Structure 1
Amino acid sequence: MNKTQRAGMLLLIFPFVALVFVFNYLPLFGWSYAFVDYSPGVPLIEQHFVGFKYFRIIFEGGNDFAIVMRNTLVMSLLGLLTSPLPMIFAIALAEVRGKWLSKWIQTVTAIPHFISWVLVYAIFFTFFSLEDGVVNKLLMDMGLIETGTNILGSDGYAWFFQLMVATWKGTGWGAIIYLAAIAGIDQELYQAADIDGAGRFQKIWYITVPSLMPTYFVLLLLAISGILSNGFEQYYVFQNPLNIDKLEVLDTYIYTLGIARAEYAFSTAIGVFKSIVSIVLLLSANWLSKAIRKQSII
């Protein structure tokens, strides 16, 4: 490749580098607000510097941070426990005899991924609301319960219900990458297994699953690195005064502090803490991947 070609390639990637810089690196300048007592309208250079005051507040208690971290970690860990579901679903789809049926199921199960969380809430409100919910009406008509159960407004069901919603919305979409990996498996392995008399389940267990494990581990390690970033929209739309003690996660807490309460410095400090922990988790997951699988993910 000559100099002209190299210059052309650099010119092609320049817009993307500029976008990354503007939207990913330039906003890091805002981290400086975590170290000052921010007053609107006052230039940053004139703000009162307080050092690590707000970081100390995070760990000293006297706020909701401990509850928020508990909710964030519980929901993320539940998500990690259900992370094999897309792989299992993809294997099941690949084993469906009728290709048209497999494609139809794949399409139907992937559609929820494209539905906004506001519409998802409306759908589940229709089914699970206390007075007019389809599920409560059906159970009362069958005589199984006397009064409706307030699933959407109960903190006792909050974690399980959010896990169910996230699984419904993400399993079909998450299976796509595993279906692509299954399509890339050498078919001669299955032919050799047929010659050796291997059954359907044996081929899945000894060929398909081992072939998918590298993909699964990469996705799992990336999920571990993002354990503090379990989403905003899902929890925000399902929050209400009855379940907020279980559904206030780190992303919604930062939004509440920064936008609703105008505690800009404290919310920025929490955001910085979240980013640093995420970077540490990513590097740790990468080190673990190299130690166990001899492969790096970054």
Structure 2
Amino acid sequence: MKRAFPWHIAVFLAPAFLIYTAFSALPLLDTLRLGFFTTHDSGHQTFVGLANYIKLLTDPDWSAGFWNAMNNNIKFFLIVMFVQNPIALLLAALLSMHGVRGAKGYQTLIFLPTLLSVVIIGFIWQLILSPLWGVSEKLMGFVGLADYFQPWLGDESSALITLSLISVWQFVGVPMMLIYASLIAIPDEIIEAARIEGASSWHIFWTIRLPLILPTLGLVTILTFVGNFNAFDLIYAVKGAIAGPNYSTDLLGTFFYRTFFGYQSQIGSPTMGAAVATTMFLIILSGVGVYFYFIQRKLQRFAF
């Protein structure tokens, strides 16, 4: 007997499908298309193939800015990756232990900055770190470290690191909650059996709990990668579109903004902006593909 098509499922999926298509899929496809064109002064667009991408990667007027933003983005990702995620793992492990008083309150406090606007976060940290009216120098003076205070956001060598650590402070709650949920999902019988065998808490964590949450750690890693290679709002809120000082905090997101919309004396170019956006998409897609092909497959084999 032939089964009827479940129309009720199609009805419920239709709104989400239409919204996703209209606001995500079609703009993405149009961006990919626009990257193969150039716009003349008259507004007429001409197909130029890969010329925009060749110009972006090889023309000194474009490639210097692109590769600077690319290098800064890699540094930004690595700092967040190797600071934020270990801290999140440590916090999740501590909060998931039995008998921790006020664990829910700590989780709320750590996760709270994630809910705040990035503009507010950027403004607050500018006030805190300002050498003119900030409170950081005075707070460091209370512990005898006032001599080590520097205008970290105004120094080319430290501005990107400072913004990376601000991002860590704001978003560490997200990987913490993901790892925490994974840790508390481990059956208590496994932990109790290990304790009966005489295993210490440290040994249980490294040999039992950590291997069991490796898929979650992999998910946190790829989410960190995608989020940081899409980063824009924090840099824009603190340093503006120019990503100063001297483009030392320029990421692919701010480079795309200036290319597409223009800024100060730089004239915007939608076609070159589309080429930058497509390049960002391909970088993120390549990173996700590498993760799923090489890492996720190993994690799945390990789980079985």
TM range (shorter): 0.7 to 0.9
* Cα distance in 2, alignment partners of residues 74 and 146 from structure 1: 27
Q: Report the CA distance shift for 1:250/1:168 in structure 2 as closer, same or farther (over 3 A).
A: same
Where does residue 292 of structure 2 map in the other structure? 286
* Cα distance in 2, alignment partners of residues 92 and 55 from structure 1: 48
Does the Cα contact within 8 Å between 2:69 and 2:252 map onto a contact in 1?
yes
Q: State the one-letter code of the partner of 1:23.
A: F
For residues 248-267 of structure 1, what are the alpha-carbon distances to aligned partners after superposition, in whole Å with 9 as ceiling and x for unaligned? 10011111111123121111
Give the alignment's TM-score, normalised by structure 1.
0.87
Does the Cα contact within 8 Å between 1:109 and 1:173 map onto a contact in 2?
no
Q: State the one-letter code of the partner of 1:48.
A: T
Percent identity, aligned pairs only?
A: 20
Q: State the one-letter code of the partner of 1:278.
A: I
Where does residue 54 of structure 1 map in the other structure? 52
Q: Which runs of 5+ in 1 are unaligned?
A: none
1:96 Cα deviation after fit: 6.0
Where does residue 268 of structure 2 map in the other structure? 262
Helix, strand or coil for the counterpart of 2:248? helix
1:121 aligns with 2:122: yes
1:22 Cα deviation after fit: 0.9
* Cα distance in 2, alignment partners of residues 144 and 222 from structure 1: 36
Does the Cα contact within 8 Å between 1:73 and 1:227 map onto a contact in 2?
no
For residues 74-116 of structure 1, what are the alpha-carbon distances to aligned partners after superposition, in whole Å with 9 as ceiling and x for unaligned? 11122222323212210011126234x1111111010000111
Where does residue 107 of structure 2 map in the other structure? 106
Q: Report the CA distance shift for 1:105/1:271 in structure 2 as closer, same or farther (over 3 A).
A: same
1:292 Cα deviation after fit: 2.0
Does the Cα contact within 8 Å between 2:123 and 2:237 map onto a contact in 1?
no
Deviates more, 1:102-111 or 1:148-157: 148-157
* Cα distance in 1, alignment partners of residues 24 and 150 from structure 2: 44
For residues 167-209 of structure 1, what are the alpha-carbon distances to aligned partners after superposition, in whole Å with 9 as ceiling and x for unaligned? 1111123211111112211110111122112222222222221
Where does residue 37 of structure 2 map in the other structure? 36
Helix, strand or coil for the counterpart of 1:280? helix
Does the Cα contact within 8 Å between 1:91 and 1:179 map onto a contact in 2?
yes
1:41 Cα deviation after fit: 7.6
* Cα distance in 1, alignment partners of residues 192 and 98 from structure 2: 18
* Cα distance in 2, alignment partners of residues 129 and 290 from structure 1: 43
Where does residue 151 of structure 2 map in the other structure? 150
Q: State the one-letter code of the partner of 1:15.
A: P
Q: Which runs of 5+ in 2 are unaligned?
A: none
Does the Cα contact within 8 Å between 1:89 and 1:171 map onto a contact in 2?
no
Where does residue 19 of structure 2 map in the other structure? 19
* Cα distance in 1, alignment partners of residues 206 and 121 from structure 2: 35
Q: How many residues align?
A: 290
1:125 Cα deviation after fit: 2.0
* Cα distance in 1, alignment partners of residues 105 and 32 from structure 2: 47
Does the Cα contact within 8 Å between 1:33 and 1:268 map onto a contact in 2?
yes
Show the 5 A alignment for 1:53-202.
53-62=51-60, 63=62, 64-82=65-83, 83-95=85-97, 97-99=99-101, 101-139=102-140, 144-145=145-146, 149-202=150-203
Q: State the one-letter code of the partner of 2:156.
A: D
1:66 Cα deviation after fit: 1.4
